[in-house]
C-alpha cells in the first residue's frame, strides 16, 4: 500500500445550498434544494419514458453528492435522475408494468454513477476488479473526529400511507479516510422490508477505493419474529411485558437482523496519470 505523509488542511466552501470540501486530494460536492416542481417532475417523467406510471411522491431532482479523486479524475456521483432511470429501465423491460401493477416501492439497485469522462474532458484513469477485502466496519464504529459530514435525500414516497420508501446518500470524512453510503429502504406494511446499501471506502494514502453492494429483504412477519426473539434473550420478563404491541421496522433493524441475499465487492485502483512532458 502506498504511503502518503502529506498533512493538508481541510478546506470547505459553503455557497447557499451547496458545499464543497477538499482534503488529501479528494473533493466532495453536495447540493440540497427543494423537491421538484410540477414542471420538473414532468421533464423527469418524460426522461423515464413511463408516462403511465407516477414518480415517487417527493423527488429532490436538484440534490446530489459528487466525490472526485482530483489527481486521477475518478468521480462517482449520486442523484435522483440517474437512480430513477435505473428503476425505469427495469419497468420498461417488464411487459406487465401498468398503472395498477407497477413497482410501487421504486426498487433500484443504484450504486451511483461513475464518470466516463471527467470535468476536464479526460478519461479517468482507474481499474476495477473483484475483491475479498471487506470495508473495516469495526474501525468505522470507533469514536473518531468527523472532518466533514452530509446527508442528501434523493427521493421519498409513503406508498399511499401503506409504508415508506427512501433513497439517500451520506458521506463521512475522518482524518484517516472516508465512507460513502447510498441507501435504499422500502417498508410495505405487513408485507416486505427491503434494504440496499452501496458503499465506497478509502483510506488516505492508499491507491484504492473499496466498494460493495448489499441487498437484504425479509417479510414483515419474519423480521418481527426474529427481532423480538433476540429482544427476549436480553430482557427480563417484566421488560418483555412492557414492550409495545406495534412494530415499525427500520433500515437499521433490518440490517442488524438479516443476512445479504446479494453481495458484490470490488476494488477500484486509482491510477494517477503522469504529467505531460514537453517535447522540442
Instruction: For 248-279, write each residue's pLDDT tens digit.
Output: 899 999 999 999 999 999 999 998 755 554 43
User: So what's the pLDDT on residue 25?
Assistant: 95
Least confidently predicted of 140-144, 153-157, 214-218: 140-144
Q: What span, in angstroms and rounded, lies between the C-alpha atoms of 71 and 271?
A: 8
At 139, the pLDDT band (50, 70, 90 cuts) reads very high
Q: Which of 12-21, 111-120, 240-249 reaches the highest mean pLDDT?
A: 12-21
Looking at per-residue pLDDT, the higher value among 244 and 83 belongs to 83
- Residue 138 in grid coordinates: 469495526
Least confidently predicted of 29-33, 239-243, 248-252: 239-243
Q: Does the pLDDT at position 33 exceed 70?
A: yes
CA nearest to 201, candidates 222, 174, 229: 174
Least confidently predicted of 2-11, 31-40, 98-107, 246-255: 2-11
**Is the Cβ–Cβ distance between 107 and 101 less than 8 Å?**
no
Nearest-10 crossing angle of helices 38-48, 80-93 = 40
Looking at per-residue pLDDT, the higher value among 98 and 156 belongs to 156
The three-class DSSP label of residue 250 is coil
Q: What span, in angstroms and rounded, lies between the C-alpha atoms of 36 and 54?
A: 14
User: So what's the pLDDT on residue 236?
Assistant: 56
Amino acid at each position: 500500500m502506498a504511503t502518503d505523509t502529506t498533512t493538508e488542511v481541510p478546506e470547505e466552501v459553503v455557497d447557499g445550498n451547496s458545499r464543497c470540501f477538499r482534503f488529501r486530494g479528494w473533493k466532495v460536492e453536495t447540493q440540497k434544494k427543494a423537491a421538484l416542481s410540477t414542471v420538473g417532475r414532468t421533464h423527469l417523467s418524460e426522461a423515464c419514458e413511463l408516462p403511465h406510471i407516477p414518480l415517487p411522491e417527493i423527488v429532490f431532482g436538484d440534490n446530489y453528492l459528487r466525490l472526485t479523486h482530483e489527481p486521477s479524475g475518478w468521480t462517482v456521483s449520486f442523484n435522483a435522475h440517474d437512480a430513477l432511470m435505473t428503476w425505469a429501465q427495469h419497468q420498461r423491460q417488464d411487459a406487465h408494468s401498468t398503472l395498477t401493477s407497477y413497482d410501487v416501492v421504486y426498487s433500484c439497485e443504484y450504486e451511483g454513477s461513475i464518470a466516463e469522462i471527467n470535468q476536464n474532458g479526460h478519461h479517468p484513469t482507474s481499474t476495477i476488479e473483484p475483491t475479498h477485502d471487506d470495508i473495516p466496519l469495526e474501525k468505522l464504529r470507533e469514536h473518531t473526529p468527523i472532518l466533514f459530514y452530509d446527508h442528501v435525500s434523493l427521493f421519498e414516497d409513503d406508498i399511499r400511507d401503506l409504508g415508506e420508501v427512501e433513497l439517500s446518500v451520506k458521506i463521512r470524512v475522518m482524518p484517516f479516510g472516508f465512507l460513502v453510503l447510498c441507501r435504499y429502504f422500502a417498508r410495505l406494511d405487513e408485507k416486505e422490508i427491503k434494504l440496499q446499501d452501496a458503499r465506497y471506502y478509502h483510506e488516505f494514502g492508499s491507491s484504492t477505493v473499496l466498494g460493495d453492494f448489499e441487498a437484504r429483504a425479509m417479510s414483515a412477519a419474519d423480521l418481527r419474529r426474529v427481532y423480538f426473539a433476540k429482544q427476549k434473550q436480553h430482557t427480563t420478563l417484566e421488560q418483555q411485558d412492557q414492550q409495545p404491541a406495534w412494530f415499525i421496522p427500520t433500515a437499521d433493524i433490518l440490517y442488524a437482523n438479516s443476512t445479504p441475499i446479494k453481495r458484490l465487492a470490488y476494488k477500484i485502483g486509482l491510477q494517477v496519470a503522469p504529467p505531460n512532458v514537453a517535447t522540442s
